[in-house]
Structure 1
Amino acid sequence: MLFVNKMCRVVLIAMSGVLVTACSSMSAGNLFSNYSAQNKPVYQAVQQGNYVDAQQELPDYRAGDILDNMEKGRVNFLASAYPASKTSFELSDKAVREWQDQPLISLSETATSAGALAVNDNLTSYQPADYELGFLHLYLGLNYIKINSLEGALVEMRRANQVQERARKAREAELRSAESDMKKSGLSPNLGSVLSRYPDAGDKLKAVQNGYLLYLSALLYETQGDPNSAYVDYRRALAVAPDNKQVIDGTLRVATLLGMRQDLALLTKQYGPYQPLPKGEGRVIIIDERGVVKAMDDWQLTIPVNDSRGNLALYSVSLPYYHDNEAQRFGSLQLDGRGISGDELVDVNLMASNQLTEKMPSILLRQVLRVVTKDLVRRETTNGNDVGSILFSVFNTLTEQADTRSWQSLPEKVYSSGATLEAGTHELVASGKPYQFEVREGQTTLVWLSRQGSNVTIWHKQLGAIE
């Protein structure tokens, strides 16, 4: 018994430096559990549309200021707690800027990386994906729209577009390769890609460029009276969502306003002529967020490792992956008693899966290095003792957790639909809940809604009335 206690102390002392690092970078629970498991109560509450329950399940601290505040901002937005949502997103944005301003090699990052090699990747600081940064600015922009600040919303759209452009340039070679493959397959060019000079890369482009963000940005620039900037983003949105009717209509509308004769000839040939707004009517644009993006799970296996002395040790290996679950289904919206269909703007699952695919080579490399590091530590601390090896294997099994961190309260997909309606009061029914809004002659009314489970959050703005 004394010998076992001695070996326990040896193992704990050997890992003490790692544990200190762990405690400084994440909560104790994260050492023995992955993010998806810990966030499950919040995720399930959002998935079921229980927004208030999700608010109550939000922790004070779980994954750091960037991701924690992304989740808080989104959940509060769904719960119509808009001031709290804006504050949380601003805190996340501040944390992102601090992370981006760090030197490439910092003492804290070196320490957490070393700890991650000995324990798991959850010890590293969270680095948000490009698509998550885009959504951060998008939801900050929506918060500004809620308080009628067009200027604030456009600042966030510009910042989001900078993220989009960096993401595209970083993957230029992959996008061009995908474009080449499509041409070899005999697929005709996407007109939006031609007009915007974007690679015609099909789903690969959709995986790195957010059509929702581009369309909203174009709509806001048009509202501001900046058709040139609006046309840039409409063309980009058309490259990503070439079959979206609202994107097509917006591109035609602004191209007509700007007198882009060559572009109009191409657009009209493919989509038909622009239909101006009839007298006495207004335009309604509906943004329809649906469901919740998939959360990563962890896949675990045990591998045996023999050292030079012939001693056997078992090591747990854990990798993140996405389940191939069936998409959530939602009924059609009813506008003034008539069903309306929507066209996809963005598939967030596609963007999230692409992000994991891009990260997987580095994840696998770190996993191999971790096994080597743990085996080295085991040999140095146990000196071939079987009891020590067993204790080390237990510690390894308990702490080997896949890094499943991601922004899990984002929507699964986003659609848009639209109509031209007579000025006056109209009704939209979503998830069985009626919502009334005003349409003004010659103006655009934006109706935003997000549906999860049997619940819906919905609001509208007269775009011509925000400043």
Structure 2
Amino acid sequence: MCIALVGCANLSVQTLFSHYSAALEKTRMLTSRGQYQAALTSFPNTLYSDILTGMERGRLALLAGDAVLSQSILQKVDTQVTEQQRQAIMPLSEGLNQVGSLFSNNNMLTYSPPGYELGFMHLYLMLNYLRKSDLDGALVEARRANYVQKNALQLRAKELKQIKNTIQQNGISDNIGAIISHYPDAGKMLGGVQNGYLFYLSGLLHEIERNLNSAFIDYNRALAVEPNNTYVAESAKRVAIKQGRQSALILLEKKYGPYVQPVHNSATLVILNEQNIVNARHAWRLPLWLYDNHNNLVSYSVSLPYYRSLFNTPQGAILIDDILVKPLQLTDVNAMAQQFLNESLPSMAARQVLRIVAKNAVRKSLAEQNKRGINNLVANIFNVLSDQPDTRSWQTLPQTAGVYSGFYPAGQHVVTADGKIINIILKSDQITLLWLFRHGGNVIYWQSFLSGI
């Protein structure tokens, strides 16, 4: 056990006796107050994961208005993820992490970001490029993001099959079922697999590039995630007309109404509206008190992460020249985070069962060496304190993201969001992209000009 724990690359007091959500409480509080620079500088110096820490810091730098720092951090994370995925052979340190996690907790395992987090990493790289009107750079990230989403689904299916085999081979399916039967109800997950925000933005960039086939595909993917988003439907109809897709246009108009042709020389306004911050994972524990064959009371616990609530605040209305409009949801990040956790539960529960077996073997050995029970007491205390849930996830992401789009006369216009007055310039046959993040009455924004559609 000593060799396993000392050798762990991820070993620290925090990873051994605490968990990620607890370490990030101050950062999330400052983020909720709109103190993004303070949140960035207060980020805990932990060994939970360089990749996860980088994604959090890249997002906070973006919110703090430092696009250069955000881009630099996220590009470094991108390189680290690529290297992590490139390694076909498990390094020695990770082998020790695997062993150490059986004697402690899953925080010892190297963090591999799920597909939805990788998608957001590329999405924010896209937005940083768009902020400086670099369409080519944004398109590269759009293509990589689409590949990540496709690859993540295939990889996740493979992982689920592997954990199913592990459970069957170890004969612990009944134990896992007993654990999950007590687990808090996760509820229903809609739109929890794919990122409509990413699909819509990718479709918009492809349309600007005049890659209409890819644009039509991505708009329809976004509609599959959020079928009630009429702004995405209008974009799909527009591309269908440009491509002469009559049959597709008929189906779209039947569901969403006829396409309204914009006035000649009008300007396009697209507002990307991010709101609030995604839920953090919380700790759920199931205590287990057992007697061994020497009548010693043995303490174990099952610790798993869970989400307390799936409630989302609806997309907030916006005033454009004193006319009220409402963005429509593109993606529900809470749902994506919950869906990934749901899929990970069998694996987490399996490791919990195997961990109890490993800890029990160590405790028996210590008890045999010390008949007075002191070692047994120490083992009990270590078992309880070290069994921490794996609450690692990208916790500064938005809760939801939505879109509004419309055509307006060229010139200056006023957008008001949560009392924040934003003066924007619209140019004929061009797109003004306005990005918003709204949380707790705080609004940050930037705008950029793109080619027309």
User: What's 1:64 paired with?
Assistant: 49
User: What's 1:153 paired with?
Assistant: 138
For 1:19, give the aligned amino acid.
L
User: What's 2:373 paired with?
Assistant: 386
Tell me how far 1:343 sits from its aligned partner: 0.9
Maintained 8 Å contact 2:133/2:449:
no
User: What's 1:336 paired with?
Assistant: 321
Determine the C-alpha separation between the residues in 1 that align with 2:218 and 2:311. 32
Determine the C-alpha separation between the residues in 2 that align with 1:65 and 1:449. 28
Tell me how far 1:21 sits from its aligned partner: 2.9
User: What's 2:174 paired with?
Assistant: none
For 1:209, give the aligned amino acid.
Q
User: What's 1:215 paired with?
Assistant: 200
Q: How does 1:35-434 map to 2 (within 5 A)?
A: 35-103=20-88, 105-169=90-154, 206-324=191-309, 326-328=311-313, 331-383=316-368, 384-434=371-421
User: What's 2:447 paired with?
Assistant: 460
TM-score under structure 1 length normalisation = 0.86
For 1:449, give the aligned amino acid.
L
**Residues 86-132 of structure 1, C-alpha deviation per residue, up to 9 Å, x if partnerless?**
11111111111111112254322221010000000000000111100
Determine the C-alpha separation between the residues in 1 that align with 2:285 and 2:156. 30
Of 346-355 and 303-312, the range deviating more from structure 2 = 303-312
Maintained 8 Å contact 1:50/1:455:
no
Tell me how far 1:53 sits from its aligned partner: 1.8
Aligned residue for 2:254, secondary structure, equals helix
Tell me how far 1:172 sits from its aligned partner: 7.9
User: What's 2:5 paired with?
Assistant: 19
For 2:7, give the aligned amino acid.
T
Runs of 4+ off more than 6 Å: none
User: What's 2:163 paired with?
Assistant: none
**Residues 376-429 of structure 1, C-alpha deviation per residue, up to 9 Å, x if partnerless?**
111112314411111111112221110000000000001111221110011111
The alignment of Structure 1 onto Structure 2 pairs a total of residues equal to 422
Gaps of 5+ in 1: 1-14, 174-202
TM-score under structure 2 length normalisation = 0.89
Maintained 8 Å contact 2:279/2:334:
yes
Determine the C-alpha separation between the residues in 2 that align with 1:128 and 1:172. 15
Q: 1:112/1:463 Cα in 2 relative to 1: closer, same or farther (>3 Å)? A: same
Determine the C-alpha separation between the residues in 1 that align with 2:138 and 2:406. 24
Q: 1:357/1:381 Cα in 2 relative to 1: closer, same or farther (>3 Å)? A: same
Maintained 8 Å contact 2:315/2:326:
no
Determine the C-alpha separation between the residues in 2 that align with 1:102 and 1:306. 44
Q: 1:228/1:326 Cα in 2 relative to 1: closer, same or farther (>3 Å)? A: closer
Maintained 8 Å contact 1:294/1:408:
yes
Maintained 8 Å contact 1:35/1:403:
yes
Q: 1:27/1:149 Cα in 2 relative to 1: closer, same or farther (>3 Å)? A: farther
Tell me how far 1:326 sits from its aligned partner: 4.5
Determine the C-alpha separation between the residues in 2 that align with 1:465 and 1:326. 37
